[in-house]
A and B are shown apart, each in its own frame.
Chain A
Amino acid sequence: MSGAHVEAFSRSTPKRLPRAPRKWQSWALLAVFVAYVGGTVWSWRYINMTLSTLFGGFTELWNLVTYMLPPRFDRIREVLDATLETIWMALIGTTASVLLSVPLAFLAARNTTPNPVTFAASRAIITLSRAVPTLVIAAVLTLPLGIGPLAGILALAIHSIGMIGKLFTEAIENTESMSREAVTSTGAGKWQTVLTTIVPQITPSWIGTSLYRLDINLRESAVLGFVGAGGVGFVIQTTLRSLDYQRAIAAVSVIFAVITLIEVVSTRLRTSIIGDHLSTPTTKNARTEARERRDQRLIIDAVTTRRLTPPWTYERIVRTSAALIFLALIVISFVTIDMPLLSAFGLIDEIGESVGRLFPPDFTTAGPELWQGIRETVAIGFIATTLGLLLSIPLGILSARNIVVKRAVFGTTRLFLLGLRGLPELIVAVLFVAAMGLGPVPGTLALTLGTATFMAKLIGDALEEVSPVPREAVFATGATGVQEFFTSVVPQALPNLVSQTLYMLDVNLRSSTVLGIIGGGGIGFLLLSALRVLQEPTVGAIIIVIFVIVYAIELVGSFVRWLVE
């Protein structure tokens, strides 16, 4: 562990708790920190990680890279079809999840819920659906639904409720209530009032959330094929299994390009939707000015002729065409995707039956392996977080443009990070498993890389937001660049770093529960073997274990965040 980290952490403690003497909270923070360090040390020894396995891993990776180059695009048709299927799965899954989340959110929001029972029930559904990873749900659903995209879509739809429902609920709770009181006073009914006053206020936030989740789900659906639940993951896995590395990397690069492209598009859409037209910057180019003049003319025409339908202003055109494009995409996806749509409803009974077979859960048959799986999962999470953090610090510093003044340096670092983030962790993991063989090490390395790139971006951004005023003051005393960095930059960026590390631990423990499904170590491996031999009660036990792990982390995480605040 890093001495700098320890020192920095304890130095930050009095700064974080400037108010009243909150003695036990500082002790609790210290205890969390000690537990974290202890966890990392234990994990390192448990997995038998050594520096030589680490670097040995990298040489094997290099070998794999040489096998993979150049990529062979000769069967590109198959890859493109699978990639399209991946996109449609993400789209349908997200849409279904949004449709399910809308009623849940209104029932779960304090200001719209009809009664305490529905309030508690819908909150419980939202929380529970988040606790089991998509890949696990998909793996279980392939039992009744068979191989194909339907299991994947359902898994995406169910798991996404956790995030979409939560954020939708918060959006409803954040609306102002004065317009609601006013419209209620006109004699409007409850749902009339909700649609007239609340819905216009939440639409931008809801669309932003849905687009964001679409992004996440695209990454998730790229790996669902690993359990036979449709999409490009299946192509990647089969080519890797048959040691056809050049075609595998071709498929990986296609999905990488698609994910990056869609991320760019959705980020732009989100900023344009959430950034209200009122808060647009004052600098306007000729085109926006012309557009505004046209809108103004249309509005004046409409009111002078007393048009009873709203004029087609730029905003309305954009909104309507976006809605039409979305509907068209949904129709196309349903038509294109190879899925027994109507019979899906007939399968509800079978789904219920297979879920029923998971109970009562059997903890004894796989007892020792289960215990080992849990420990391995936790160990992977800890190592990946710590190693990732250590790697991310230099990367993050190199990518901050106010610290590294050379454009070439921060530019290449940013590009490198952006490139690495474009690949879902599980795809990286499956490549590492191909290079190094089964076991916890490749999985750990994949998560480490994911953590490092994500944290490096956060650190870079946090550093760029550091106030320049103290920096100038320290420079003025004649300090060197390095001295200045430690005295003025580090303390400013630290609190954020602490809570982000905990967040990463949370994310990594979740990911490491499914790593085993692709042979990357942890409890997921046991899940897959139990599924293969149809030991459903054991599967039930494993799901409960995963659920408990994920839920426990979430509780600890929110407790620590509360402590840090």
Chain B
Amino acid sequence: MTTSLSGGAGSLISLTGVSKRFPNGTLALDNVSMTVPTGQLLSLIGLSGSGKSTLMRHLNGLHKPTAGTVHVMGVEVSSASNRALRGVRRNVGFVFQQFGLVGRATCLENVLSGALGRLRGPRYGVISYPRSLRREAFDHLERVGLAPQAYQRADTLSGGQMQRVAIARTLMQRPQLLLADEPVASLDPESSHQVLELLLRVATEENMTVIVTLHQVELALGWAHRIVGLRDGRVVLDRDARGLTQDDVMEVYQRVDRESNLASGAPNTVAAVTDHVKV
């Protein structure tokens, strides 16, 4: 896996020996190497604090590695200039657990902000964007089923609706790669299913390469081509999703569970983990 070099043919992402130590001393990523080919649907699993979010944030340059290199679409993200970095980000959609919408702005305006990377100069308010983009933003809202809410403030929506607006904003970027960091973790089970289904449907329709971190292992197994498990910043599982059983996946969690049981002697960690991993 570590053999592939800077964005070799067919591989959209390649990480080589990536480590990240935060200023407070935590080692969040420990010598991670992997490549992701174009068109793959990859699911990252692991407990909270295992390094999933940190890994995702390295892929669009929100974090810089302490050691190692990150190549995305042929650009060395870790040492890229601001300009090159913006170029990469424009092609990488990012869906966050907390949606990242501007509450006081309308849904349409939030979707339009996904086009900022294509525009020069700052914008304020719907009418500061070109009409063609406004039309496009309406289309994307329609696609996520929220066109009727176009002129409503984002903070009047439910969590599931907010995440759909965030997906529409990502579509506005027309990205090749979609990163989704716990996209449904803040939602109730019903809207979780709807939002995840929507996310994956539009991603496959647009031929995006997708990396999603998920708590719900069942969901991950259902659609992913490949499952990567992280523990304490290290890759502990990396397999084709076909033929992977629930038990194989649970290993990623349970081994940690045994260790932490030994370490802390906490009696109810098993319950916590099974609650955590909704099966």
Query: A199 contacts B124, CB within 8 Å?
Result: yes
A185 and B89 contacting across the interface, CB-CB below 8 Å: yes
Q: Is the interface of A mostly helix, strand, loop or mixed?
A: helix
| Contact indicator per residue, chain A 110-122, by CB within 8 Å of chain B (1) or not (0) | 0000000000000
Looking at A179, A195, A199, A302, the one whose CB has the most chain B CB atoms below 10 A away is A179
Interface centre among B98, B115, B117 (most CB of A within 10 A): B117
As a 0/1 sequence over residues 271 to 304 of chain A, the CB contacts with chain B under 8 angstroms (1 = contact) are 0000000100000000000000000000110110
User: Which B residues touch A183, using CB under 8 A?
Assistant: 100, 102, 113, 116
- The interface stretch among B147-155, B210-218, B234-242 is B147-155
Q: Please name the residue on chain B nearest to A316 by beta carbon.
A: B151
Cβ of A548 < 8 Å from any Cβ of B? Answer: no
For residue A243, CB closer than 8 A to chain B, the reply is: no
- Whether A331 is near chain B, meaning CB under 8 Å from some CB there, is no
Contact of B106 among A186, A195, A310 (CB under 8 A): A310
- Contacting A195 at CB < 8 Å: which of B124, B126, B152, B170? B124
In the complex the two chains form, is A179's CB within 8 Å of B148's CB?
A: no
The answer to whether A195 touches B122, judged by C-beta atoms less than 8 angstroms apart, is yes
Contact check, A188 vs B113: say whether CB atoms are below 8 A apart. Answer: yes
A-B contact count (CB 8 A): 118
Q: Is the CB of B117 within 8 A of A188?
A: yes
Name the CB-closest residue of A to B169: A186
**Bound complex: CA of A303 vs CA of B151, how far in Å?**
8
Q: Of residues 161 to 182 in A, which have CB atoms within 8 Å of B's CB atoms? A: 178-182
CB-based nearest B residue for A190:
B82
In the complex, the answer to whether B150 meets A303 with C-beta atoms within 8 Å is yes
Name A310's contact: one of B94, B124, B126 (CB within 8 Å). B126
Q: Is residue B114 within 8 Å, beta carbon to beta carbon, of the partner chain?
A: yes
Given contacts A187-B89, A191-B122, contact A181 B148 (CB under 8 A): no
> What residues of chain B lie closer than 8 Å to A303, measured between beta carbons?
147-151
User: Which residue from B89, B148, B155 sits with its C-beta under 8 Å from A278?
Assistant: B155
Using A187-B117, A308-B131, A308-B135 as known contacts, say yes or no to A200 and B99 having CB atoms under 8 A apart: no
Q: Does B225 contact A (CB under 8 A)?
A: no
Closest CB-CB distance, B65 to chain A, in whole Å?
17
Chain B residues with Cβ below 8 Å from A491 are none
Q: Who on chain A is nearest to B106 by CB?
A: A310
Q: How far is the CA of A197 from the CA of B127 in the complex (A)?
A: 16
Q: Does B173 contact A (CB under 8 A)?
A: yes
- Whether B99 contacts A300 by the Cβ 8 Å rule is no
Q: Please tell me if A439 contacts chain B, counting CB pairs below 8 Å.
A: no
| B121/A178 in contact, CB under 8 A | no
* Residues from chain B with Cβ under 8 Å of A187 in the complex: 86-91, 116-118, 173
Contact with B along A294-330 (1 / 0, CB 8 A): 0000011011001011110100000000000000000
Q: Given the complex, which residues of A lie within 8 Å of B100, measured CB to CB? A: 178-183, 185
Known A-B contacts A184-B62, A186-B173, A299-B152; A193 and B116 likewise in contact (beta carbons under 8 Å) = yes
Give CA–CA (A421, B114) in the complex, Å: 51
Report yes or no: A182 in contact with B101, Cβ–Cβ below 8 A: yes
Q: How large is the interface on B (under 10, 10 to 19, 20 to 34, 35 or more residues)?
A: 35 or more
Q: Nearest Cβ in chain B — how far from A183, in angstroms?
A: 5
Please give, as numbers and ranges, the residues of chain B lying within 8 Å of A179 by CB-CB distance: 100-103
B104 touches A200 (CB 8 A): yes
> Which of chain B's residues 138-197 have a Cβ closer than 8 Å to chain A?
138, 147-152, 155-156, 166, 169-170, 172-173
Considering only residues 72-101 of chain B, those with a C-beta below 8 Å from chain A are 86-94, 96, 98-101
CB-CB nearest in chain B for A183: B113
Q: Does A21 contact B (CB under 8 A)?
A: no
B255: Cβ under 8 A from any A Cβ: no
Q: Bound complex: CA of A200 vs CA of B92, how far in Å?
A: 25
Question: Is A496 in contact with chain B by the CB < 8 A criterion?
Answer: no
B80 to chain A, nearest CB (A): 12
> Which residues of the partner chain B approach A191 to less than 8 Å between Cβ atoms?
122
With A and B bound together, what is the CA distance between A186 and B101 in angstroms?
Answer: 12
* A184 contact set on B, CB distance < 8 A: 62, 89
Min CB–CB distance A151 → chain B (angstroms): 35
A192 at the interface (CB under 8 A from B): yes
Q: How far is the CB of A346 from chain B (nearest CB, A)?
A: 33
Complex interface: chain A residues within 8 A of B150 (CB): 302-303
The answer to whether A186 and B90 touch across the interface, beta carbons within 8 angstroms, is yes
Contacts A196-B124, A308-B131, A310-B151; A185 near B102 (Cβ below 8 A): no
Instruction: Give which listed residue, A178, A195, A201, contacts B123 with CB less than 8 A.
Output: A195
The reply on B32 being an interface residue by CB < 8 A is no
CA distance A302 to B141 in the complex (A): 14
In the complex, are the beta carbons of A186 and B98 less than 8 A apart?
Answer: no
With a cutoff of 8 Å between Cβ atoms, the chain A residues found around residue B152 in the complex are 299
Instruction: Say yes or no: is A189 at the interface (Cβ < 8 Å to chain B).
Output: yes
* Cβ–Cβ contact A309 & B126, under 8 A: yes
A97 to chain B, nearest CB (A): 22
Closest Cβ of chain B: how far from A169's Cβ, in Å? Answer: 20
Look across to chain B and name the residue whose beta carbon is closest to the beta carbon of A306: B138
Give A487 to B259 CA distance when docked, in angstroms: 58
User: With a CB–CB cut-off of 8 A, which chain A residues contact B14?
Assistant: none
Which residues of chain A have C-beta atoms less than 8 A from B131's C-beta?
Answer: 308
CA distance A197 to B116 in the complex (A): 12
Q: How far is the CB of A307 from chain B (nearest CB, A)?
A: 8
Contact partner, A186, options B105, B108, B114, B151, Cβ 8 Å: B114
CA gap between A183 and B117 in the complex, in Å? 9
Let me know if A189 and B86 touch, CB within 8 A: yes
Given contacts A179-B102, A182-B101, contact A309 B127 (CB under 8 A): yes
Q: A559 to chain B: closest CB distance in Å?
A: 30
Distance (whole angstroms) from the CB of A500 to the closest CB of chain B? 33
Most buried by A among B102, B115, B169, B173: B102
Q: Chain B nearest CB: distance from A162 CB in Å?
A: 28
A188, A194, A201, A299 — most chain B CB neighbours (10 Å): A188
- Give the residues in chain A near B122, CB-CB below 8 Å: 191-192, 194-196
Q: List residues of chain B with CB within 8 A of the CB of A193.
A: 116
Q: Is B11's CB within 8 Å of the partner chain A?
A: no
A182 to B102, CA, bound (A): 10
> Distance (Å) between the CB of A185 and the closest chain B CB?
4
Q: Is the CB of B116 within 8 A of A278?
A: no
Interface centre among B88, B92, B104 (most CB of A within 10 A): B104
- B133 closest partner in A (C-beta): A308
Asked whether A188 lies within 8 Å of B104 as measured between CB atoms, the reply is: no
18 extra A-B contacts, CB within 8 A, seeds A185-B94, A186-B115, A309-B126: A179-B100, A183-B113, A184-B89, A185-B89, A186-B113, A186-B172, A187-B117, A188-B113, A192-B121, A195-B122, A197-B102, A201-B104, A299-B152, A308-B134, A308-B135, A310-B125, A310-B126, A313-B151
10 shortest A-B CB distances, which residue pairs? A182-B100, A187-B117, A187-B90, A188-B116, A187-B89, A185-B94, A195-B122, A308-B134, A200-B104, A178-B100
A-B residue pairs in contact (CB < 8 Å), sample of 26: A178-B98, A178-B99, A182-B100, A183-B102, A186-B114, A186-B115, A186-B172, A186-B173, A187-B87, A187-B88, A187-B173, A188-B116, A188-B117, A189-B86, A189-B116, A192-B123, A195-B123, A200-B102, A200-B104, A299-B152, A302-B150, A306-B135, A308-B131, A310-B106, A310-B108, A313-B151
Residues of B within 8 A of A (CB): 60, 62, 86-94, 96, 98-106, 108, 113-119, 121-127, 131, 134-135, 138, 147-152, 155-156, 166, 169-170, 172-173
